[in-house]
Structure 1
Amino acid sequence: MTIRAIRTPDTWFETLPGYDYTPHYVDDLPGYVGLRMAYVDEGPKSGAPVFLCLHGEPSWGYLYRKMAPVFLAAGARVIIPDLFGFGRSDKPVDDEVYTFHWHRNALKAFLDRMDLTDICLVCQDWGGLLGLTLPMDYPDRFSRLLVMNTALGVGKGTSEGFIAWRDFMANTPDLDLAGLMQRATPILTDAEAKAYAAPFPDATYKAGVRRFPALVPISPDMEGVQTSQQALRFWSEDWTGDSFMAVGMQDPVLGPDTMAWLRSVIRNCPKPLEIAEGGHFVQEWGEPIAQAALKHFGLTD
């Protein structure tokens, strides 16, 4: 099946405060040939722990601009892919292309291509809904977890905040991304909010933004539930790596209650770092989170 996709012109990414990393691209992932995935790859290419940072919706790799420098300063490698439909990656224009397993399999193809080991999964929002299902398929590749404001979609309902967000998105085909990010994260400057919106010049680029909230596996019959349930068993019973959790306490969608449940199903997950003023996009308070995680993992003094 040929997938119709569009690509955000590079000129839209000319002003990205704090995020001047050189993008890399791959356009021949098995099952996705012809679709270009963008990613950042900084730091040593071998012999160092890898921080694989997965963004959610409606953000992109720019979300990690405050955490990446901390990881790099500790001598780690940092890889930040943009999911298809987001960031500098190609954006299928038809909403129905976007499914749970279509994205999960794209991440698996990317992992296979990059051949990474000693990975710390860094995830939030959809970065966790998808990312938390990956280590069970690659148990020898993942050694650490840094998890923030996310969940596993095991088909057991959700919060009123999420339902409100899902319904809002279903009725907002041309979402004002910059405005949304500033309302959710008041500490953003106008330039930073504009950078978040850079991948989406108009509504035709926003199929992924529109589609993702409806894909969250909140009822038993939804795609991704069985995969997420398998992942839950992995994290509860088989995970032997080191974990660190940070929680944006002001998140109305995936906040303290959801994160308390997630902590309860991650084997040996310690008490979280609570970011009192942090919202859903808690990476905006990312520097102290990254520093605390590195200390916990024994990767810095």
Structure 2
Amino acid sequence: MIKALRTPDDRFKNLVDYPFEPNYVDDLEGYEGLRGHYIDEGSKGAENVFLCLHGEPAWSYLYRKMIPEFVKAGGRVVAPDLLGFGKSDKPIGEDTYTFEFHRNYLIQLIERLDLKNITLVCQDWGGLLGLTLPMDMQRRFKRLIIMNTGLLVEPVIAPAFIEWHDDIVKANPLSLSHFFKQYAPTINEDEANAYAAPFPDSSYLSGVLKFPKIVANPDQVCIETSTRAFSFWKNDWDGETFMAIGMKDKMLGPDVMHFMQGVIRGCPEPMEVPEAGHFVQEFGDTVASAALKQFGLI
């Protein structure tokens, strides 16, 4: 059994703009005893499901501005916290956190909830993982909303990533509230503290510390899976796509996203969000509304 920590519930009391009821699963195959959290808002009988996948070092709090827009449009919204993040349990050992560990967990959760007509909503690691899912579950996925992300097909050595990597891995101590204020400068103190809420101290940070290391040195499973996904999006994807770009992001901003536009078959011209940095979801109500209009859902 994997040893893990569980963030005390009182860390999540009275978070600003996060009124969502928790949902948990703790018996997925291979993850027995690890309690994973997910938001599940809107009608379970809704025609359209919006699967919102967060990245590093965020959690489902990241989607607090998009979830209400999708629900208002009649959708069901599922926003999981990856293991190691948010209200989900946090395995202690960094070696637990592999690309395959997270990807298989998401596949099992989708199957457990029997999600269909999925709009994949992804950014950062939500995309590094999420963009590899539809190729193996094609009948479940219908649309894509993609923001500042890509596919991990080789080690990343770009200077902006190295700076990001060092701000997490080499910080001593790592203050996530400070980190979020640095990379999402439009948020206030309460929001920065909410992002940091899942991590009472450094013993909870193994997942946060591991993600940048994977980007710097992805394993062969990650590279092969992501390469296969690259081919899928270029040649086989036949769903609708909406792209939004946080223009102030030095790491996964305009250059990367215009490249991804060329990769994703049928991807239209992106929405540029001039004031958004890496965490585009901080402008999520505007982005969600634009995507819903493009898809003809409002």
Q: Is 1:165 equivalent to 2:164 in the alignment?
A: yes
Matched, 1:43 2:53: no
Please say if 1:249 is aligned against 2:253.
no
Corresponding residue of 1:190:
189
1:246/1:275 contact within 8 Å kept: yes
* AA partner of residue 60 (structure 2): G
The structure-2 alpha-carbon separation of the partners of 1:35 and 1:129, relative to structure 1 and needing over 3 Å to count, comes to same
Please tell me the residue identity of whatever aligns with 1:72.
Answer: V
SS at match of 2:83: coil
* Separation (CA, whole Å) in 2 of partners of 1:47 and 1:77: 6
Q: Which of structure 1's runs of 4+ aligned residues deviate more than 2 A?
A: 156-159, 167-170
Q: Secondary structure at the match of 1:216?
A: helix
Q: Deviations over 1:236-269 (max 9, x none)?
A: 1110100000000000111110111111100000
Q: Which residue of 2 aligns with 1:105?
A: 104
State the Cα distance separating 1:197 from its structure 2 match: 0.4
User: Contact between 2:157 and 2:216, CA under 8 Å: does it hold in 1?
Assistant: no
Rounded to whole Å, the distance in 1 between the matches of 2:166 and 2:216 is 15
Q: State the partner residue of 2:154.
A: 155
Question: How far does residue 173 in structure 1 lie from its aligned partner after superposition?
Answer: 5.8
Q: Shift in Å at residue 159 of structure 1?
A: 2.2
Deviation of 1:163 after TM superposition, in Å, equals 1.8
Whether the 8 Å CA contact 2:71–2:77 is kept in 1: the answer is: yes
TM-score, normalisation: structure 1: 0.96
Query: Deviation at 1:85?
Result: 0.2
Tell me by how many angstroms 1:174 deviates. 3.9
Q: Return the alpha-carbon distance in structure 2 between the equivalents of residues 123 and 113 of structure 1.
A: 20
The equivalent residue for 1:263 is: 261
The residue number in structure 1 matching 2:78 is 79
After superposition, residues 112-261 of structure 1 pair within 5 angstroms as 112-155=111-154, 157-172=156-171, 174-216=173-215, 222-261=220-259
The SS at the match of 1:18 is coil
Amino acid at match of 1:90: D
Secondary structure at the aligned position of 2:139 is classed as: coil
Unmatched 5+ residue regions in structure 1?
A: none
1-structure distance, mates of 2:167, 2:176: 13
- Count how many residue pairs are aligned between Structure 1 and Structure 2: 298
State whether residues 18 and 64 of structure 2, in contact with CA within 8 Å, keep that contact through their aligned partners in structure 1.
yes
Instruction: Measure the CA separation in 2 of the matches of 1:238 and 1:217.
Output: 29
1:222 positional shift? 4.3
Looking at structure 2, the residues matched to 211 and 4 of structure 1 have their Cα atoms a distance apart, in angstroms, of 16
What secondary structure does 2:121 align onto?
strand
How far does residue 87 in structure 1 lie from its aligned partner after superposition?
Answer: 0.2
Partner of 1:41, secondary structure, is: strand
Q: Distance in 2 between matches of 1:202 and 1:291?
A: 37
The farther-off stretch of 6-15 and 222-231 is 222-231
Contact 2:155 2:215 in 1 (8 A): no
Whole-Å Cα distance in 2 between the matches of residues 48 and 75 of structure 1? 8
Give the TM-score of the pair, scaled to structure 2.
Answer: 0.97
Q: Against the structure 1 CA distance between its residues 217 and 164, is the aligned structure 2 distance closer, same or farther, given a 3 Å change threshold? A: closer
CA contact (8 A) 1:154 1:218 kept: no
* Consecutive unaligned residues in structure 2, runs of 5 or more: none
Partner residue in 2 for 1:70 = 69
The root-mean-square deviation of aligned C-alpha atoms, in Å, is 1.3
Q: Is the 8 A contact 1:147 1:245 kept in 2?
A: yes
1:8 equivalent in structure 2? 7
Partner SS, residue 108 of structure 1:
helix
**Identical pairs, percent:** 54
Give yes or no for the alignment of 1:277 onto 2:280. Answer: no
Distance in 2 between residues matched to 1:158 and 1:292, nearest whole Å: 33
Q: Deviations over 1:87-133 (max 9, x none)?
A: 00000011111111011011111111011100000000000000000
